A and B are shown apart, each in its own frame.
Chain A
Amino acid sequence: MKVELIAPWDGATRPGADSEIGIRIIARSDAKIAFDLNAGRTRAHAELSIPTGTIRTLWIPYRPDPDEPARLGLSANGGTRLQLLRRHVLRAPVGSVMAVAAATVPLGSRWLSNMPGVAVMAVAPESLPRTLHAYDQVDVVVIGVSELARLEPRQLIAFQANLARCGRVVVVGAVRRMAALFGRTTGCGGAFYRNVAVGEDAIAAAGGLLDRSPVGLPGLEQLRGIAAHDGKTPVFMLVILYLLFYTAAIIAACSVSRRAVPVLLVPVAFLVLAILVWYGRAPDSSLVVWSEGESGETTARYAAVLEVVGRGIGAFHLPVPAVAVPTVLPAGAVLRVTLDPNGQEKFSIQMGTHLFSRSTIPLHEASNVSAAPVIEWEGVRPGAVDRLFRRRMKDRGTSFLLPYVPPSLRMDGTTTPARGWRMVISNPGQRGRWQ
C-alpha cells in the first residue's frame, strides 16, 4: 500500500487560513485502513476498505498549524505508521496572496511592482483546490480559460463554490457563454468577478479586485445571539433543584432516624437518581444559519453556527455538508470521514458531551446555490433576529428577511433543529436580470 499526501497551491500555506489535505491511497492488495489526521485544531478519523488495485483520494478540509506539520497516523492490515505533511509557509509581511494559473499572464513584468504587499504565485491547474476551504488561502485567483478546461470536475465545483461565496476571481479569455455561466453563479452581484480578454490585463484587474472586500457575514457572537431556544428547562435549574431536595432529604433522614441505614440510603438513592437522569443523555443541539444574497441572485453566502449543550454524559453525532465542514473543532471532537458509493467524502462531527458542557462550532462560510429561494413566512421575528437584521441593513442597504435554511443544512432526520434567515439585499439594476 502506498500513501501520498497532497497539498493545494503547490504546497504553499498561509498561517491561520483554512486549507485541505489530499490523502491518496494506492492499494496493492485488499486493505482495511484507518487513519487519524491531527493538524492544528482539526482531528479527523476515517476507516476505509480499499480493494486491490484501486486508488482512492480523500480531500479533507483542515486549518494548518504554521509551526507543526499535519500528522497522519495510518493503520492498515495490522501495521501502523506516521506520515507528515510539511508545507512551505507564506509568512508576514505578506498582505495579500494572488494565485495565477494562466500561462497567458506574463508574471514578473513591471506592473507587479505596483502592488506592494501582494505575494504572487504561479500555480499549476492541478494544484487548484478540491474543496472550498482551501480558497481561503488566497485572496484572488487568476485563471486562464485553457487552465480552466483542465480542471477536474471536483476542482470546478470548488471553483464555482468560491465564485458563489464572493471569492475574487479573474478569468482570462473566457468566451461569452462561459463568462455568462460564471456571471450567473457569482455572489455579491458579481462584484468580485472579472473576465479579461488578454493576459496583460489580468493582474491589473486582480489588483482592482483586491482594493475592496465583500461585507463580512455576522460573527460568532451575533449568531449565538439568535440561536434557537426550545423552551426546555435549563439543566442548571434541574441541578440546583436536585441539590436542594438532597439537602432537605438528608436533614430529614437525620431528624427522623437514629440508625445508619436510612441515613446512608439517602445519598445512595440520590447518587442513583443523578446517574439515571444525567448519564447517557443526548445533548441539546441547534444550528443557526444566516444567509445573505442580492435580489435576483440564485446564490446566497451563509454563516452557520452549531451549538451543542450537554445535558449529561452523552454522545453527539451530526452529518455536515462538505462545503461547511468546520476546521476548528472543540477539544475532544472528531471529524468522521466516510466514503459514499460514488467515492465522495461524507463528513460528520462526533463528540462526547457532559453535564454543563457547551460547544459552539462555527461551520465554514459557504454559499448555497439554488434555482430560487424557498419562501416561507412565519410572520413574527424574534427580537434578537430583528435587531441583527436592522444592524445588517445599515451596512447592506434596503433588504428584507425570510426564514430560510439552505437544504444542505436542514439536518432532516437528526435531533438538531436548524433555524435560519435569508437576507435579500436590494441591488437595483446591477445585474438587470429582474428588470
Chain B
Amino acid sequence: MTEVRTAALAAMMGSLPVIVWVSGMLAVNGTPGEGAGDIFSAALRGLFTVLGVIAAVFGIWCAPRFGWRNPGAAQIVLLTTPLPLFCLAWLAGVVPLQVLGNGLLLLALGSLLILGLGKAIVGIAPGRSFEKIALGALQLVLAGGVFITRDLWLGWIGI
C-alpha cells in the first residue's frame, strides 16, 4: 500500500505549510476575534487548492501502476488527512459544514474522474513511451488547470 502512504505524506506535505502559517498567525495575533475568519478563510482556500493540485498529480501517477481499489483508498486518505484543519475552520465559525462537505465531495469526484482519465489514456496509448508523455502532459495540464481556475471552483464551493 505504498500509494496510501504516498497519498498521506503528500497531503501532509501540502498541509504542513498551511499548518505552520495558521499556527504562526495565531501565535502572533493571540485570540484574533474577527481576524480568525480571515486566517482560516485563507488557510481553507490554500488547503483546497493544494489538495486539488495533489489530487490531479497523484491520480494520474496512480493510473498506470495500480487498479482501482488501492488508488481509491489512497484518494480517501488524501482527502481525510486535512480533516482536523477543516474541523478547526468550522469550529472557528468560518464555514458551515455543508460547504466543507461540498468541497470534499467535489475533490472526491474530481479525483475519481482524473483517475479514470489516466486509466483511459493507459488503455488507448499505443506504446509505453507515448503513455508516459501523454500522462506527464496530462498531469501538467490538470495541475495547472486546477490551480488557474481555483477562484472559479472555490467560489462554487462557497469558500
Contacts and interface: CB of A to CB of B under 8 A. Distances in A.
B33 A268 contact: no
Contacts of B5: 254, 257-258, 263
B76 A264 contact: yes
B154 interface: no
Contacts of B92: 354-357
Interface string A238-259: 0110111011001101100111
A257 B8 CA distance: 11
Interface of B is mostly: helix
B27 A250 contact: no
B152 to A, nearest CB: 28
Interface residues of B, number: 35
B112 interface: no
Nearest to B80: A267
Given A258-B4, A264-B80, A355-B36, A247 B16 contact: yes
Nearest to A331: B34
A381 B145 CA distance: 61
A247 B77 contact: no
B30 A274 contact: no
Interface string A141-154: 00000000000000
A264 B73 CA distance: 9
B31 interface: yes
Given A267-B83, A268-B83, A243 B22 contact: yes
Contact of A354 (B1, B4, B19, B93): B93
Given A243-B23, A251-B12, A234 B30 contact: yes
A14 B65 CA distance: 74
A292 to B, nearest CB: 29
Contacts of B8: 250, 253-254, 263
A220 to B, nearest CB: 14
B87 interface: yes
A55 interface: no
A110 B59 CA distance: 88
A267 to B, nearest CB: 4
B107 to A, nearest CB: 15
A176 to B, nearest CB: 54
A260 B77 contact: yes
A260 B36 contact: no
B91 A274 contact: yes
Interface in A356-395: 356-359
A328 B27 CA distance: 30
A313 B4 contact: no
Interface string B76-107: 11001111110110011100000000000000
A279 B91 contact: yes
Nearest to A278: B91
Contacts of B1: 258-260
B32 interface: yes
A268 B74 CA distance: 15
Nearest to A251: B12
A161 B59 CA distance: 72
Contacts of A250: 8, 12, 81
B84 A270 contact: yes
Contacts of A406: none
A234 B36 CA distance: 14
Given A274-B91, A355-B91, A263 B77 contact: yes
Given A254-B5, A263-B77, A355-B92, 14 more contacts: A240-B27, A243-B23, A246-B19, A247-B19, A251-B12, A258-B1, A258-B4, A259-B1, A267-B84, A268-B83, A354-B93, A355-B88, A355-B91, A358-B32
26 contacts: A235-B31, A236-B27, A236-B29, A240-B27, A242-B84, A243-B84, A251-B12, A254-B9, A254-B12, A257-B5, A258-B4, A259-B1, A263-B4, A264-B77, A264-B80, A267-B83, A312-B91, A355-B88, A355-B93, A356-B26, A357-B34, A357-B92, A357-B93, A358-B31, A358-B33, A359-B33
